[in-house]
Structure 1
Amino acid sequence: MSENLMSALGLDRPESGDDTVVPFTLDQLDTRGRSVRLGEALDTILSRHNYPAPVARLLGEAVLLAALIGSSLKFEGKFIMQTQTDGPVNLLVVDFDAPDGLRGYARFDHDAVLKAAEEGRIQPGELLGKGHLAMTIDQGPNTERYQGIVALEGNSLEEVAHTYFMQSEQIPTQVRLAVAEFTRKGDHRPHWRAGGVLIQHLPEHGMSQMADLPGDGNFDNPETADPDFEEADGWTEARVMLATVDDLELADPDLSSERLLFRLYHETGVRVFTPLPMVERCTCSADRIEDMLATSFTAEDREEMAVNGEIEVVCEFCSTAYHFNPHHFDTKH
């Protein structure tokens, strides 16, 4: 990194690499945000299931969006983003396990996806169809879950995110997402990677509730959104500049978050903070599945589940297979 760039960003560390979230502020523009780069973590999530490319790209955008939003959590817990729709890709589920864990899963109709691809209908809105997007904050046992729901209207998850924040959070927000495949030198298998930026306008009184997701009374009340919001000049400039970034820049493996932010906002100034690591991590376990089988099913149910004398449960997220003897529960529980 050049001395000018380091000085402009106030960096006393090397540029961040893949699988990181970099928080930043644009103080002169009354804006704050986060930039995400996902490499190996995303490739692991997408390659594990051998998804068709359009499905993998869509799930990659959902994972990226969940990382941008979930990384704002200031407490232990989960941010869960889920779509339920009538399109070829009828379900997307992404869990962000604070402070750094990501996992994701897509359910789709293979024939419908193949037909859509043949007809060139592979935009997110066409693959998802009609339905809704739910964002849930789960702080663990003995706490209230918060949920915001928005209709899936628009051609992209970017547009859905903008609608969500205006309706549910009343926070002017702009999002850019990009997912791409890159082939490494000497490696014939393409690898998935992604980059995204989320910016939000800061109200005059300081940081908004998004900094401590959730907590305000408007989390799932779109009726309270202000239809007369007057856009501030600083916010206009921040979002116009973000709109100039292209997909290749966002997903470029050789362009760090810091360098991208400097490229976009060096004229007005950008202040970056310590990067946060992101990892692919599934929360499934043999103990959890055993407890689910013991408490949610009868002995007769478990006997019917058994094939060749054992019950097999495969995690939809990480594909790990767990095996249980149905008679094990008779003596243990």
Structure 2
Amino acid sequence: MAEAPIRAPSAVPVDDTVLPFEVAALDLRGRLTRMGPALDDILHKHDYPPAVGKLLGEAIVLATLLGSSLKFEGRFILQTRTDGPVSFLIVDFKAPDRLRAYARYDAARLKDGQTAGELLGKGHLAMTIDQGADMSRYQGMVALDGGSLEDAAHEYFLRSEQIPTKVRIAVGEEVRGGDGGKARWRAGGIMLQFLPKSPERAKQADLHPGDAPEGTAAHSVEDDDAWVEGQSLIATVEDVELIDPDLSGERLLYRLFHERGVRVFAPLSLRAQCSCSRDAVSSMLKSFAPKDRADMVKDGKVVVTCEFCSTPYQFTPQEAGVE
């Protein structure tokens, strides 16, 4: 079989994509997310304070890195429930490309300079894979104890998947000339995993991919030279590189891994699209008790606003099933 031709990395930046890649010489696989308009659309549906928008952006990027690996048209749902100022985050990724997200926060508890860990506080991060009505759900959980979402992702892979994994995420606002001074959200993230193919390296790394039984102690992985090198390389990625609108994902990966050789695969597109509809909201209303529906009537109408996309749906009392 002829080897795949080697080509120069594309210089054309493409936003709202996930770019899978591998570094075969080091037994590394990963994904690189670059987000622009889709992220900006999701975050500007709500008037989030900058710190809350940034935190939700990080959750969105993490969900794309994890959810884009689904091989079926299901859902990957990432959500946090904590006691911090940002008490609830949810990102709903519907494979292969649809995203929606929402954050709940207490404005009175927000302070300048709070870290991601301080905004989240203590609680848990849940990641759910929903394969559809006829299939069982899978859910993994990890405690949040004042750390960042990156920290939580590392803990999850260490304890549940037992795959050496490193995640880097950056989110920021960009203001460009000719845009009326409007700030636009951008984000990027990279996830690197060590998946040895050779029996010798797999034995040395002592990997056990898959779900660990509940209560399993944290797995101790003997550092393989390849994984040490991979971690060192990804540690050099700067936030500005992850969100730079003028730097293509392929060029960034080439910067990191060109000495070892990096292979990129077809990019996966991302788009912001809510799944709400008037019919779905109407069905939801009819699931409430009659008294609850009656209490929703204000000024002779029932108005329901989607928490994800802020779209309002208006119904007459009769349409809402109020007698």
Contact kept? 2:11, 2:250, Cα under 8 Å: no
Aligned to 1:24: 21
Question: For 1:35-65, what per-residue CA distance to the aligned partner results, in whole angstroms no more than 9, with x for missing partners?
Answer: 0100000011111211111111111100010
Report deviation, 1:226: 5.7
Q: Report the 3-state secondary structure (helix = DSSP H, G, I; strand = E; otherwise coil) of the residue aligned with 2:58.
A: helix
Aligned to 1:136: 128
Aligned to 1:175: 167
Aligned to 1:325: 316
Q: Report the 3-state secondary structure (helix = DSSP H, G, I; strand = E; otherwise coil) of the residue aligned with 1:283.
A: coil
Aligned to 1:185: 177
Question: For 1:299-320, what per-residue CA distance to the aligned partner results, in whole angstroms no more than 9, with x for missing partners?
Answer: 2321111112221110011000
The percentage of counterpart residues that share the same residue type is 54
| Aligned: 1:86 with 2:83 | yes
Question: For 1:155-188, what per-residue CA distance to the aligned partner results, in whole angstroms no more than 9, with x for missing partners?
Answer: 3211110001111111111000000111122111
1:54–1:257 Cα change, 3 Å: same
Partners in 1 of 2:246 and 2:320 — Cα distance? 53
State the one-letter code of the partner of 1:323: Q
Greater helix proportion:
1
State the one-letter code of the partner of 1:67: T
Partners in 2 of 1:313 and 1:148 — Cα distance? 32
Partners in 2 of 1:290 and 1:203 — Cα distance? 51
Aligned to 2:100: 103
Aligned to 1:212: none
| Aligned: 1:197 with 2:194 | no
State the one-letter code of the partner of 2:288: F
Report deviation, 1:329: 5.1
State the one-letter code of the partner of 2:52: V
Partners in 2 of 1:170 and 1:138 — Cα distance? 22
Aligned to 2:51: 54
Aligned to 2:297: 306
Question: For 1:123-170, what per-residue CA distance to the aligned partner results, in whole angstroms no more than 9, with x for missing partners?
Answer: 100111111000000111121111001001353211110001111111
Contact kept? 2:67, 2:76, Cα under 8 Å: yes
1:9–1:138 Cα change, 3 Å: farther
- For structure 1, the 5+ residue unaligned runs are 1-6, 209-214
| Aligned: 1:264 with 2:261 | no
Q: Which stretch has the larger CA shift, 221-230 or 176-185?
A: 221-230
Contact kept? 2:21, 2:31, Cα under 8 Å: yes
TM-score by length of 1: 0.88
1:330–1:284 Cα change, 3 Å: closer
Number of aligned positions between the proteins: 311
Report deviation, 1:330: 4.6
Contact kept? 2:25, 2:260, Cα under 8 Å: yes
Contact kept? 1:9, 1:272, Cα under 8 Å: no
Report deviation, 1:73: 0.5
Q: Report the 3-state secondary structure (helix = DSSP H, G, I; strand = E; otherwise coil) of the residue aligned with 2:60.
A: helix
Contact kept? 1:16, 1:275, Cα under 8 Å: no
State the one-letter code of the partner of 2:300: G
Partners in 1 of 2:176 and 2:220 — Cα distance? 49
